[in-house]
């Protein structure tokens, strides 16, 4: 037996939900779209799992965080999918895909065919066993990738009030789970091999500020080492963590956040794989024209940097989903996916955002002493390529985003540090071209001259434009003067 759909989304994470909403807005007909997911629930906002879901009081629970509420958009409950004629095939694993024949085979033996396939399979959490450590099946060892993991972790937290937790990993999951454990009055020790937390993004200076705040909340850090084994009691429950440096840490609960791996196995040998993900073009289209990939599983061209990237963040999942649907439904009207890499996190009283690429020389700015508003710029080959800001307003975050997108030239790093956020504000304000209405020619000349004489133009384009405007105005003035003499 089998079913046929025009569009099939394989995977039920964040990207699937946003793709479904985009399909309805672009006129998908009833019965044309199907979503297949291993999870038993409709797509939801995964960031809630490490934040609101773990709160000790009034924790977030479905249906409150179904997609697409995080974008202040519609909440796509199961009822919504039914009302829009979208088939949800939940709790179902696809065991094989035949790209050439455009078919999927489920674990139940059902064949589902498609005209267009969107791969939204996301990624899975790396397990300790992949690093030679046994014990992931212990009842008090937890990962956090999906709703099942979150339920398991929430239960473990409730069972170990005032106990000792060891968090393995110093990245997103490690930092956010550590904060949630502290809020639940659990003693936390973080273990990771790097010199500081969030090593792929944070500079040592930025990391030290967050680490000091965590220490003030009672969190301990053990850096430069890794987990090698567990100690178990007679019920095969973990009681301690053994580290490579010889230390042993007591543990009532262990949370593991050591990275993810894209779910590409169904397509290896059928589609082009690059940098661990399914390679797509600027329309999110794979090496097979009928197959698209979005979210964590997709490796796509980042136009700003002229490079292929696979990004692991919810913002990329949401936006790539919308773009892929647009490319499928209205290919002639859909341009390139011009995405600025964006990452953010909110823990305790902190809220930071990062845009661009954390490469090159780093210039810090702001009030690091009081930890309220501070940031950093990354400069590569004389241009701004990355911006980080903690404690900014909505307008300030938008400003650093726009400035990073523009990639302005930077010639004086010391001055950049002194200007701080003001640099980004200047870049953005000078990029806006004002509307000219009945401006006297003398004023045009004065403005053009000021543009040309700017001591440190942010763009060659700005200077060139100024020269052209000045030359045009001068020519006009000369012509006008000659005409007046003839009159």
Helix (H) or strand (E) holding 317: helix 314-329
Angle value at C-alpha 196, between 410 and 180, nearest 5 degrees: 110
CA atoms of 459 and 430, how far apart (whole Å): 10
CA distance 240 to 15: 38
Sorted by sequence, the CB contacts under 8 Å of residue 272 that are 6+ apart come out as: 278, 279, 286, 287
- Asked if residue 421 lies in contact with residue 365, where contact means CB atoms within 8 angstroms, the answer is yes
371 vs 369: CA distance, rounded Å: 6
Residue 445 phi, psi dihedral angles, 5° rounding: -60, -45
- Report yes or no: 392 and 373 within 8 Å, Cβ to Cβ: yes
**8 Å CB contact between 274 and 299:** yes
pLDDT of residue 478: 43
Provide the pLDDT for residue 432: 59
pLDDT for 431 equals 85
Tell me the pLDDT tens digit for each residue of 134-170.
Answer: 999 999 999 999 999 999 999 999 999 999 999 999 9
Classify each residue of 271-299 as buried b or exposed e, where b means 16 or more C-beta atoms within 10 Å of its C-beta: bebbeebbbbebbbbbbbeebbbbbbbbb
User: What are the φ/ψ torsions at residue 481 (nearest 5 degrees)?
Assistant: -65, -40
Phi, psi of 232 (to 5 degrees): -120, 155
Residue 161 to residue 184: CA distance in whole angstroms? 7
Pairing of strands 220-223, 141-142: unpaired
- Measure the CA–CA gap between 270 and 254, rounded to whole angstroms: 38
CA 207 to chain centre: 19
Close Cβ partners of 23 (under 8 Å, ≥ 6 residues apart): 7, 33, 86, 325, 329
Stretches in the chain below the pLDDT threshold 70: 1, 432-487
Q: What is the pLDDT of residue 1?
A: 66
Cis omega (within 30 of 0) for bond into 63: yes
Residue-level pLDDT at 468: 45
The pLDDT tens digits for 116-136 are 999 999 999 999 999 999 999
User: What pTM was estimated for this model as a whole?
Assistant: 0.87
Q: What pLDDT, on a 0 to 100 scale, did the predictor assign at position 439? A: 40
**What is the rounded CA–CA span in Å between residue 55 and residue 181?**
9
* H helical segments located in 412-459: 413-419, 421-431, 441-452
């Amino acid at each position: 037996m089998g079913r046929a759909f025009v569009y099939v989304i394989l995977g039920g994470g964040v990207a699937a939900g946003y793709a479904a909403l985009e399909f309805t807005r672009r006129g998908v007909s009833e019965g044309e779209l199907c979503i297949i997911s291993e999870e038993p629930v409709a797509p939801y906002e995964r960031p809630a799992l490490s934040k609101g879901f773990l709160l000790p009081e009034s924790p977030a629970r479905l249906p409150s965080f179904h997609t697409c509420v995080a974008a202040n958009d519609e909440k796509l409950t199961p009822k919504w999918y039914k009302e829009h004629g979208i088939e949800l095939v939940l709790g179902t694993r696809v065991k094989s895909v035949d790209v050439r024949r455009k078919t999927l085979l489920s674990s139940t033996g059902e064949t589902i065919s498609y005209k267009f396939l969107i791969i939204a399979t996301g990624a899975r959490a790396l397990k300790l066993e992949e690093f030679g450590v046994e014990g992931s099946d212990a009842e008090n060892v937890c990962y956090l990738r999906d709703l099942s993991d979150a339920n398991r972790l929430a239960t473990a937290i409730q069972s170990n009030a005032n106990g000792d937790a060891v968090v393995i990993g110093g990245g997103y999951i490690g930092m956010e789970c550590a904060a949630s454990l502290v809020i639940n009055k659990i003693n936390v020790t973080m273990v990771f091999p790097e010199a500081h937390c969030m090593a792929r993004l944070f500079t040592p200076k930025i990391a030290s500020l967050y680490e000091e705040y965590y220490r003030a909340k009672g969190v301990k850090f053990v850096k430069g080492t890794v987990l090698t084994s567990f100690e178990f009691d007679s019920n095969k429950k973990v009681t301690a963590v053994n580290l490579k440096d010889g230390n042993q840490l007591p543990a009532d609960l262990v949370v593991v956040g050591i990275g993810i791996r894209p779910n590409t196995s169904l397509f290896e040998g059928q589609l082009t794989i690059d940098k661990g993900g399914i390679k797509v073009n600027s329309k999110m289209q794979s090496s097979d024209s009928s197959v698209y990939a979005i979210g964590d599983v997709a490796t796509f061209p980042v136009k700003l940097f002229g490079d292929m990237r696979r990004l692991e963040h919810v913002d990329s999942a949401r936006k790539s989903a919308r773009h892929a649907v647009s490319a499928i439904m209205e290919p002639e009207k859909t341009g390139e996916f011009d995405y600025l890499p964006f990452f953010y996190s909110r823990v305790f009283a902190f809220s930071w955002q990062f845009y661009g690429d954390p490469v090159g020389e780093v210039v810090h700015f702001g009030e690091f002493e009081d930890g309220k508003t501070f940031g950093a710029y990354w400069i590569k080959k004389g241009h701004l390529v990355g911006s980080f800001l903690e404690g900014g307003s909505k307008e300030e975050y938008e400003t650093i985003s726009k400035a990073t997108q523009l990639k302005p030239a930077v010639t004086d790093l010391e001055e950049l540090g002194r200007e701080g956020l003001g640099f980004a504000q200047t870049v953005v304000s000078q990029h806006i071209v004002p509307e000219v209405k009945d401006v006297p020619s003398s004023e045009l000349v004065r403005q053009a001259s000021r543009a040309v004489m700017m001591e440190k133009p942010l763009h060659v384009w700005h200077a060139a434009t100024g020269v052209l405007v000045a030359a045009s105005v001068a020519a006009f003035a000369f012509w006008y003067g000659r005409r007046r003499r003839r009159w």
